[in-house]
A and B are shown apart, each in its own frame.
Chain A
Amino acid sequence: MIGGPVFLREVLAQARRPRTYLFQTVFLGVLVLGLIPMYAQAIGIGKSRLAEQARMLFEWGAYLQLIILTLIGPALVANAITEEKGKNTLDLLLLTEAGPWAIVWGKFCSRLYSLLFLLFLTVPLLFALLTLGGVAARSILITMAILGGFSVLATGLGIFLSTVLKRTPGVLGVSYAVLVAVLGAPKLAQLPPAQQPLVSPLLDLAYVANPTWYYPTASLATEWWVAPAWNVTAGLALVLLAGLALPHARELERLLDIRRALEAFDRATFLLLRPGRLLRRLTGGGAAAADDGPRADPRPIGVMNPIYWKETNVNTVGRFKTWWRMNLAMLVGLLGSYALFQHELSNIEFHKVVAAVVTGFIVLLPTIIAASTVSREREDGTLDLLATTPLDCATYVMGKVRGIGRNIVFLAALPFVHVIIWIVGGVLDPTTLVFFALGIPVATAASIVQGIFVSLLFPTTLRAIVAAIVVVTIEAALPLVCCVPSFNLPLMAYYMVEPSQGLATALGQGPQGSFTLAKLFACLFSAGTHLGFLFVIYSLIRSDFDRYIGRAA
């Protein structure tokens, strides 16, 4: 089966795609760039410290590999079947003698081969650590087994989701959510420490790198295989399910299409938000008005920026789009966290983590959403229509930024809402609001503009989304390289949250006061760098706008 026609076609196609080599180069490049500074530090130190340094190198290298696999894996697999469905070639494949199993298995093997090849590329790098001591060959092999098992899970999951879901971005989103849950859920769910490495490959890796102190449970020494074993089993089971599901892919797509249910939910919520209309409907007088529901009176364009009008008019609550659901999900998540961690509500650490998580979404979501905005227009052919109009760069970019900004305004306001609640509750200091006001709005605008820029650079939505995630990840990692946390908004937000002492009190407390002032300067610096970044990106877009939107390419 591995040598079957689907597998061969896939492997050949991959070998011809430049992105295959790009992925490999990026993967290896990030690893090498991440590890070389640490390796350099190890030079000229004592033997025992050298061994410790090597162990650290190994540990962080393994984590880095896992993170990159989590990011790259779904991107490599997500379109395996959706692409065939989109091009109407799946039916042709199913009509051949090959059958669904050969198709699914061929796709699975070829994509897994790509991921395992990435891992294989790092083997010499990891074995080089043996020369420093502190790392056993067995640990390296076990690490490769854990990472390999995780690759099988990521590939199997991607193949299954690609079979039952319609769109590649949907597959990508669900894949990331599931994989992140697999890696982090045991910790969040507060499983007993001895069980965490059995479930999460991330914690299994942590255990392998620190067998003595991380989880001092003797039995774990022989149980490292549990996580990779269940990963492989689950991955293969998902491929099996995908094979079963493939002939019924269209029906399953329809079955899993929750759009109608969501639209009904939107309608119900819309009625609840407009009691007058609800009342008319309940009394039987407003059936017609309720039927046309929120669509009844779209805002006229008037003298509005048409791009802004388009972004907001077709993507609003009334138009049954995802924006408001996303905002609602975030609100429910925030309130849910209050319920889940009731006993932590007076703990400043809880509020710092909440701020970091919410601002993480504020950076990630607008970037990803903006990244898909232009490429989607390019894919569905509407960008060509825009490009033959007299549309200029300022109108286009400003329309997009304002439109996306308006749609996520609730999301951007959420940290402020949280802070205000807990300032009133006496847990946080009002200074936090000032820090947030300096940091969040401009960073959000910068996220949108950088997302648009990424979208202008890449021809397909999938590539643009993956590139946006990579950009956000690199920005988040910047503090590790150059100690400037400006572009890591979650980290900034974490430190921006001030306990309820009051700025004046803090200033009178010596070091604490200095720290508060330093944070204020950091926020100002962050706002400044984001403004500068915004300006640079906008200038880049404007410098060659025609080419970016496909005019005069």
Chain B
Amino acid sequence: MIETRYLTKQYKDLIALDKLNLTIDRGDIYGFIGPNGAGKTTTIRILGTLLRPTSGQAFVCGYSVNGQAKHIRRKIGYVPDEFGTYEDMTVTEYLEFFAALYEIKGKERQRVIHDVLELTDLSYKRDAQVDSLSRGMRQRLALARVLLHDPDVLLLDEPASGLDPRARIEIRELLKELRTMGKTILISSHILSELKELCNKVGIIERGQLLFSGPVEEILAKARSHDVVQVKVREGTDRAVEALRAHDLVARADVIDGDVIEVQLQETAQDHSLVASFLHERGFRLLLVREQEIDLEDAFMKVTKGHVA
């Protein structure tokens, strides 16, 4: 549905995107993550036909952004990181205006507006002024706007940015609903915990380069490559730590959360079961043995190096 080949964008000396190769399939919810200035917005704006790449190719729904932008515009819905408001327009008028721009006419227009307002739970605000809406409602309205012409692809640039927790949850639920409708969604966000729940694939970008792209499970597994185990013994925590540190295959052993010991194994270690057997052999009674939970934030921190273009 979305494909980029060696996509490059350069502003004078600054390379914002560096030979980006990205593939997003139909129905994917693709989380695009990276530090500020990494090239997320640039990528989304190129796919949204708002920027022209310096070199390389980008395709949306099979159409190239170079020369077939008109076709792409009918297939995409773009939500920028900052919501653009028209003064003195009601919610319905705002949607009518954009529906007219998408050449949706007559009764169909009224039906579509009714449907998107229902979907985004904004029906009760249909006569409210757009500039009087809260930020969360505005974001929902922005999503309502991009759904008017039933696009195949949604390009969402930081849709949860600056929202309070309740509004974030509302947006997340709405996006889950869109996922069930079969939309292909490219979403950039800083709130990684939510992306994990929402997306089936993620891409990590830094300094214009795609460091990772693939299923969420894959990146979590990748981040888990150096096994970290947490154990708890009934008594003698300090002794257990000392013993673990002396083991050849243990890279690190520290006490966390009071009496839980976190053990990081060397790369050469086969699996983490050796920790349990080692402690058991030395007479420690184990209360807990578990793998450290890896979330997207840990994975992100491991994959990126903290550089910003």
Contact = CB atoms under 8 A, between A and B. Distances in A.
Given A386-B101, A551-B69, A314 B80 contact: no
A315 B88 CA distance: 8
B244 to A, nearest CB: 51
Contacts of B286: none
Interface stretch (A93-101, A146-154, A302-310): A302-310
A385 B69 contact: no
B93 A298 contact: yes
Contacts of B70: 390
Nearest to A549: B50
B83 interface: yes
A101 to B, nearest CB: 35
A309 B98 CA distance: 11
B96 interface: yes
A389 interface: yes
Contacts, number: 81
B108 to A, nearest CB: 13
Interface string B88-108: 111001001110111101000
B124 interface: no
Interface string A365-391: 000000000000100111111111111
Nearest to B72: A388
A294 to B, nearest CB: 12
A298 B127 CA distance: 11
A383 to B, nearest CB: 8
Contact of B73 (A320, A384, A390): A390
A309 B84 contact: no
A300 interface: yes
B105 A303 contact: yes
Given A390-B74, A552-B51, A310 B98 contact: no
B88 A546 contact: no
Given A552-B51, A552-B52, A382 B86 contact: yes
Given A381-B82, A553-B52, A390 B103 contact: yes
B84 A301 contact: no
Nearest to B82: A381
A50 to B, nearest CB: 52
Contacts of B86: 310, 314, 382
Nearest to B110: A300
Interface in B112-158: 145
A306 B99 CA distance: 9
B107 to A, nearest CB: 12
A355 B249 CA distance: 95
A313 interface: yes
B76 A388 contact: yes
A390 B70 CA distance: 6
B138 to A, nearest CB: 11
B87 interface: yes
B130 to A, nearest CB: 10
B159 interface: no
Nearest to A387: B50
Given A384-B84, A385-B84, A388-B76, A309 B97 contact: yes
A388 B87 CA distance: 20
Contact of B84 (A298, A300, A382): A382
A549 B50 CA distance: 9
Q: Which of B73, B74, B88, B90 has the most CB of A within 10 A?
A: B88
A552 B49 contact: yes
B277 interface: no
B203 interface: no
B85 interface: yes
B96 A301 contact: yes
B98 A553 contact: no
Interface in A267-319: 298, 300-301, 303-304, 306, 309-310, 313-315, 319
A389 B73 contact: yes
A389 B77 CA distance: 9
Contacts of B34: none
B89 A385 contact: no
Nearest to A318: B88
A550 interface: yes
Nearest to B146: A388
Interface in A304-352: 304, 306, 309-310, 313-315, 319-321
Given A313-B93, A314-B86, A390-B70, A384 B100 contact: no
Nearest to A553: B51
Contacts of B76: 388
B35 interface: no
A398 to B, nearest CB: 14
Contacts of A377: 84
Q: Which of A304, A314, A321, A385 has the most CB of B within 10 A?
A: A385
Contact of B88 (A301, A321, A381, A389): A321
Contact of B100 (A304, A380, A550): A304
Contacts of B82: 381
B89 A314 contact: yes
A352 to B, nearest CB: 40
B39 interface: no
Contact of B49 (A309, A320, A383, A388): A388
A319 B86 CA distance: 12
Contacts of B88: 314-315, 319-321
A309 B100 contact: yes
Given A314-B89, A381-B82, A382-B86, A390 B100 contact: no
Contacts of B102: 389-390
A267 to B, nearest CB: 15
A314 B100 contact: no
A381 B84 contact: yes
Contacts of A388: 48-50, 73, 76-78
Contacts of A300: 96
A319 B101 CA distance: 22
Contacts of B93: 298, 313
Contacts of A387: 49-50
A146 B73 CA distance: 58
Given A380-B85, A381-B82, A389-B102, A310 B50 contact: no
A389 B69 contact: no
A314 B87 contact: yes
A161 to B, nearest CB: 23
Interface string B31-74: 00000000000000000111110000000000001000110011
Interface of A: 298, 300-301, 303-304, 306, 309-310, 313-315, 319-321, 377, 380-391, 546, 550-553
14 contacts: A306-B98, A310-B89, A377-B84, A384-B78, A384-B84, A385-B84, A385-B98, A388-B73, A389-B98, A389-B102, A390-B70, A390-B74, A552-B51, A552-B52
Query: Which 8 pairs of residues, A with B, have the shortest CB-CB distance?
Result: A381-B84, A382-B84, A306-B100, A552-B52, A388-B78, A389-B101, A314-B88, A301-B100
Given A301-B100, A551-B49, A553-B51, 10 more contacts: A310-B97, A383-B84, A384-B50, A384-B78, A384-B80, A388-B49, A388-B77, A391-B101, A551-B50, A552-B52
